[in-house]
């Protein structure tokens, strides 16, 4: 079984639910995708890391780092960096807090120690709906001085997120569309 087919199986089993849900965008939905239920398993994280790394290559992006808004992007960041390391490729990580720390250095972004200012990065997200959370991470990365090449998610719900990111000059690539999960 291919990595893509297995990941789709894992997402359907662990992360895709039907019912009545309130989304981060404020919209109501008859389904919910909680990718952490998959990305926090060893198998799910391993496959996600390999697939996201392949998607970076397919996009022609060569970032110094990947990262995104905590909490959804945290396991994706680690998985992708580890997949790159396994292939002998340097790829650092960064995490974007929802708000700056109110203690210590007061940082909003935590980054690998050797990640320089001005580095090229790709923003990761688990699920994109309207693109608001992804755009928040993009803007924080840009404010940190990073050059954002694009955004990459596991699932694009197809509810305007790609268009919102495109309007901001950020291309979005996704491993899966909603139709893949419902398939």
Q: Summarize pLDDT for 66-87 with one digit per residue, the tens.
A: 999 999 999 999 999 999 999 9
21 CB-contact burial (10 Å; exposed 0-12 / middle 13-18 / buried 19+): middle
Task: Select from 132, 123, 125 the least CA-distant residue to 161.
Answer: 132
Quick one: pLDDT at residue 59? 98
Least confident of 20-29, 33-42, 64-73: 20-29
Structural domain boundaries of the chain?
Answer: 3-182
125-165: pLDDT as tens digits: 999 999 999 999 999 999 999 999 999 999 999 999 999 99
Residue 101 has pLDDT above 70, yes or no: no
- CATH class of segment(s) 3-182: alpha beta
Give the separation between CA 7 and CA 48, rounded to whole angstroms.
7
Task: Specify the pLDDT at position 98.
Answer: 86
CB neighbours of 58 closer than 8 A, spacing ≥ 6? 173
From 90, 95, 120, 119, select the one nearest 108 (Cα to Cα).
95
Q: What is the pLDDT of residue 182?
A: 86
Q: What is the pLDDT of residue 16?
A: 95
Tokens of 180: 């893949």
Mean pLDDT to the nearest integer, 3-16: 97
**pTM of the predicted structure, to 2 decimals:** 0.94
From edge to edge, which strands make up the β-sheet containing 120-128? 109-111, 92-96, 65-69, 120-128, 147-156, 172-177
């Amino acid at each position: 079984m291919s990595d893509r087919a297995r990941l789709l199986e894992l997402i359907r089993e662990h992360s895709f639910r039907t019912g009545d849900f309130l989304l981060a965008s404020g919209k109501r939905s008859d389904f919910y995708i909680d990718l952490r239920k998959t990305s926090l398993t060893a198998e799910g994280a391993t496959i996600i890391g390999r697939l996201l790394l392949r998607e970076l290559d397919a996009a022609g992006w060569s970032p110094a780092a990947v990262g995104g808004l905590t909490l959804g992007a945290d396991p994706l960041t680690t998985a992708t960096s580890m997949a790159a390391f396994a292939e002998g490729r340097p790829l650092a990580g960064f995490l974007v807090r929802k708000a700056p720390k109110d203690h210590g250095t007061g940082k909003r972004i935590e980054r690998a120690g050797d990640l320089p200012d001005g580095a090229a990065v790709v923003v990761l997200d688990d699920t994109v709906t309207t693109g608001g959370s992804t755009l928040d991470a993009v803007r924080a990365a840009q404010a940190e001085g990073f050059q954002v090449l694009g955004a990459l998610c596991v699932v694009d719900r197809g509810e305007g997120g790609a268009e919102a990111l495109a309007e901001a000059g950020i291309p979005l690539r996704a491993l899966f569309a909603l139709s893949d999960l419902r398939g």
